[in-house]
Amino acid sequence: MYRTGALTCLLLVASQAYALDSTMPIALYRRASWTEEDGVPLGTIWAITQDRQGYLWLGTQSGVIRFDGVRFVRWTARRSPGFPEAGVKALCVGRDGSLWIAFVGHLGRLIPSDDQAWLYEAHDSSLNASVVALAADKEGSIWAGSPAGLTRYRNREWEQPPLPEHLPSHTAIHSIYMDRAGTLWISTTDGVLKWIQGDGRLQLVASFGVVRAFSEDSSGNIWVTSADGTFNMLQERARVVRVPDRAVSGWRLLHDRNGNMWIGTQGHGAYRIAPHGNVRRLQERRQERRGTLFGRPGSHG
């Protein structure tokens, strides 16, 4: 989960020279913080995604918020009739540009360009009401994971793809990630599943603690973070990211274009792991500078 009460972002634009240097001291990164006064509601931010126009969408305890780099706009039923004002646990952008939203109680789909919205109720399909993970594959399907299992939306219908035989059909799903090749990585209570585009089968590829998040580095390695730490899942011997006193476990993972891996933890701040393995912790500051995240909508970092 993300920070409660404020949205804090790293601004990776200290200078053109530093932006290309993965050894840049972490103290030189600029941060901007937005609070309730700026339109960010108090409460937990559960999900963040970026659409094709460059807008950031935030899934919060209070509903959906769109951020254009300057302004925060709350999406309500007044803007899109039938749109619920409920907490949001997961977000993803479909191949057609629509925004899929896992509300507490039902799943929604929004086309931001014309404010059209649809809701998919749990009793109308095999979809469970407590979706916590969403992902869109390259074939146009939407995958939804919940404590009750895995569901897929394709050809305008919801279906439950068969899990490996030794797993119960209602295995709890915790996170879903799609890599650059189109392979889906799915964290379950019983291990990590892999779905290869065009294959049509889910395979169990690893059995260890619940994976909270996935990320892919520039070499195609898949990194995961769990209560046991953060490590490279595809290496024969997993390389665990460590600081002097413990392994670094997190809630979110991200690889930037300079090869750094960022780990967002719960209660211990954020860590940056450089390509050569150097680990640095982002220290909290008492006063954080406010500013804009983008120069304009559509500018991707």
Q: Encode 201-231 in three state secondary structure.
A: CEEEEECCCCEEEEEECCCCCEEEEECCEEE
Of residues 105, 100, 98, the one with CA closest to residue 47 = 100
Instruction: Tell me which DSSP letter residue 40 carries.
Output: P
Q: Residue with structure tokens 């797993």? A: 167
Tens digits of residue pLDDT in 139-162: 899 999 998 889 999 888 888 888
| Rounded mean pLDDT, 131-141 | 93
Residue 137 — pLDDT band, cuts 50, 70, 90? very high
Q: pLDDT for 155-214, tens place per residue? A: 888 888 888 888 887 889 999 999 999 999 999 998 899 998 877 789 988 876 789 999
Does residue 280 have a pLDDT over 60?
A: yes
Cα distances (angstroms) measured from residue 79 to each of 19, 26, 38, 116: 39, 41, 20, 9
CA–CA distances in Å: residue 237 to residues 24, 193, 240: 29, 19, 9
Burial 79-91 (b: 16+ CB within 10 A, else e): ebeebbebbbbbb
Biggest CA–CA distance in the chain, Å, is 55
pLDDT digit string, tens, across residues 100-117: 999 987 888 888 877 777
